Chains A and B, each alone.
Chain A
Amino acid sequence: MNILEMNHIHKSFGSLEVIKDISLSVAEGEILSIIGPSGSGKSTILRCATMLETINGGEIIYMGEKAAYTDSSGSVIYAKGDKAKKINSNFGLVFQSFNLFPHYSVMKNITDAPIHVQKRNKTDVFNQARELLEKMGLLDKADYYPCQLSGGQQQRVSIARALCMNPKILFFDEPTSALDPELTLEILKVIRDLAKEHMTMVIVTHEMNFAKEVSNRIIFMENGVIVEETTPDKMFNSNNERTKAFLGKYHNMG
């Protein structure tokens, strides 16, 4: 079953069309990477999928339920109220800049929303949070504040925070690009571990080798369209001129 389906998505900022009729789907347990040059619309498509931006056309479906669709007159209708809440509980997003709450301790960052938004049992939530922190190697940092942590540690907390909501699918928008190479490895390891547990993930990244290794499928985007969508092996042996040009740049850089 597809966790997420996005069909014929259009998104413009003013007169600038950033997403031009993009369709994609993500099946349960699948790991999809999105690569492409800067400004190609990778963040925008994630922000549309997570309702941080409103689309101008197309439909977004989570677990078979329509989060947004375009009616016959061409206007986009979003799910509202409890239905929207239910749909939004399907996904989590890990930001490039972490966006932890600086006035909350690590533990409170992770547990506050499960307790006060999802109204789950406190003991259960704390136990889950402790497990997650242990997995992230941060159990000893539970009472720290974000400003007392390194960037890599902050990002791991933000991943734990997203996971503690028990999402069906987790989006990552360049989770390592604010980090230096060593800290990048920490985060990639965490994502790799999640992959082993078959967490459904969509990862926007500039780490080509990582994308190749961890994903089931890669989308190459340019100028708001999907240029190529295939398995990692095929992507990195592609005959498509633009794909080759883009990946070639990375090879020269790396």
Chain B
Amino acid sequence: MSFSTMLMQLSSGMVKTTGIFFWTIILSLPLGLFVSFGRMSKNPVLKNIVKIYISLMRGTPLMLQLMMVYYFPYLLFGMNIRTFRFPAIIIGFTINYAAYFAEIFRSGIESMPVGQYEAAKLLGYSKSQTFIKIILPQVIKRILPSITNEVITLVKDTSLAFSLAYMEMFTVAKQIVAKDATFTPFIVAAVFYYVFNFVVAFVMEHFEKKLSYYR
């Protein structure tokens, strides 16, 4: 196989990897915020269900979770899962990362001084105004470094989609290596992940700088 054909095949994998990445971020961040509300809920039933969910997500391998999500409809309902590969991957990554993001949101929200809520209450802000205008912006600033860590991990974790034989970057690279007995695809893959994370770190640093106008 020529280098250019190899790159062609790998680049279609890159597009898919990027797709997993963005879908997971877009879905798991808001989901994580709502999960953190459940985790902090005064309702003990909801709170404990969410606690169990988070602990399962963090306590079992992501690869296993991906497989369980994928085979679940087949094993339980005998459904045809051939077209379910991509949705299963997005669902698997999203529910896993939402659990991590939820804990990050929770620690950020709980670290906010009560004086901010009290000042907002005295000024007549409603509960939702207080959260959206006063609390959340400050929470985001506080948790941004932890979010960056998770996002960088996610870039690398996308390669776990190989376990469902989804043709993302790593799966493609592995196949070419096995077939053509060449090491080059691994090097291309390594460069790809590295550059991807370089860009991620750059973008996140930009956000952090933007929020550094106050302490």
B124 adjacent to chain A (CB < 8 Å): yes
Contact B119 A101 (CB under 8 A): yes
**A160 contacts B by Cβ under 8 Å:** no
Partner-binding segment picked from A2-10, A111-119, A124-132:
A111-119
A75 within 8 A of B: no
For residue A155, give the distance in angstroms from its CB to the closest CB of chain B.
Answer: 13
Known: A99-B116, A101-B116, A102-B214. A117 touches B125 (CB 8 A): yes
The answer on a CB contact under 8 Å between A146 and B214 is: yes
B134 partner residues in chain A, CB cutoff 8 A: 101
A116 to B124, CA, bound (A): 10
B124 close to A95 (CB less than 8 A) = no
User: In the complex the two chains form, is B124's CB within 8 Å of A89's CB?
Assistant: yes
Q: A88–B124 Cα gap in the complex (Å)?
A: 7
Closest chain B residue to A51, Cβ basis: B121
Interface positions of A from 197 to 239, Cβ below 8 Å from B: none
A residues in contact with B124, CB < 8 Å: 85, 88-89, 113, 117-118, 165
Nearest A residue to B211, CB-CB: A103
- Specify the chain A residue showing the minimal Cβ separation from B118: A52
Assembly CA distance A118 to B126 (angstroms): 11
A99 near B115 (CB under 8 angstroms)?
Answer: yes
A7 to B124, CA, bound (A): 24
- Complex CA distance for A91 and B125, rounded to whole angstroms: 14
Chain A residues near B118: list those with CB within 8 A.
52, 95, 99
Closest B residue by C-beta to A52: B118
| Residues 20-73 of B contacting A (Cβ, < 8 Å) | none
Bound state CA distance, A102 and B134, in angstroms?
9
A113 to B120, CA, bound (A): 9
Known contacts A117-B129, A147-B214, A50 near B138 by CB under 8 Å: no
Cβ-based interface call for B145 (8 A): no
> Chain A 86-123, CB within 8 Å of chain B: the 1/0 string?
00110111010101111100000000110011100000
Question: Is the Cβ of B122 less than 8 Å from the Cβ of A50?
Answer: yes
Assess whether A161 is interfacial by the CB under 8 Å rule.
yes
A145 within 8 A of B: yes
Scan A129-167; emit 1 where CB is below 8 A from any B CB, else 0. Answer: 000000000000000011100000000000001100100
B16 CB contacts on chain A under 8 angstroms:
none
- Shortest Cβ distance from residue A108 to the other chain B in the assembled complex, whole angstroms: 10
B179 within 8 A of A: no
Tell me whether A161 and B214 are in contact (CB under 8 A). no
**Inter-chain contact A103/B119, CB cutoff 8 Å:** no
A50 to B118, CA, bound (A): 10
A161 and B123: CB pair below 8 A?
A: yes
In the docked arrangement, what's the CA distance between A69 and B62, Å? 56
Q: Residues of B contacting A147 with CB < 8 Å?
A: 214-215
Q: Do A112 and B213 touch across chains, with their CB atoms under 8 A apart?
A: no
B206 within 8 A of partner (CB): no
Q: Are A165 and B123 in contact (CB under 8 A)?
A: yes
Chain B proximity mask over A36-65: 1 for CB below 8 Å, otherwise 0: 000000000000001110000000000000
User: In the complex, what residues of B have CB within 8 A of residue A146's CB?
Assistant: 214
Q: Complex Cα distance A51/B118, Å?
A: 10
Residues of B within 8 A of A99 (CB): 113, 115-116, 118-119
User: Which partner residue on chain A sits nearest B116 by CB separation?
Assistant: A99
Question: Please, which residues of chain B bring their CB within 8 A of the CB of A118?
Answer: 124
Q: Are A102 and B121 closer than 8 Å at their CB atoms?
A: no
Q: How far is the CA of A212 from the CA of B26 in the complex (A)?
A: 60
User: Closest chain A residue to B141 by CB distance?
Assistant: A103
What residues on A are CB-neighbors of B214 within 8 Å?
Answer: 102-103, 145-147
Q: Is B174 an interface residue (CB 8 A)?
A: no
Task: Supply 11 further A-B pairs (C-beta < 8 A) apart from A89-B124, A101-B119.
Answer: A51-B121, A52-B118, A52-B122, A92-B122, A102-B214, A103-B137, A113-B123, A113-B125, A116-B129, A147-B214, A165-B124
Partner-B contacts on A (CB < 8 A): 50-52, 85, 88-89, 91-93, 95, 97, 99-103, 112-113, 116-118, 145-147, 161-162, 165
User: 15 interchain pairs (CB within 8 A)?
Assistant: A51-B121, A52-B118, A85-B124, A97-B115, A99-B118, A101-B116, A101-B119, A102-B138, A102-B215, A103-B137, A103-B214, A112-B123, A145-B214, A146-B214, A161-B123
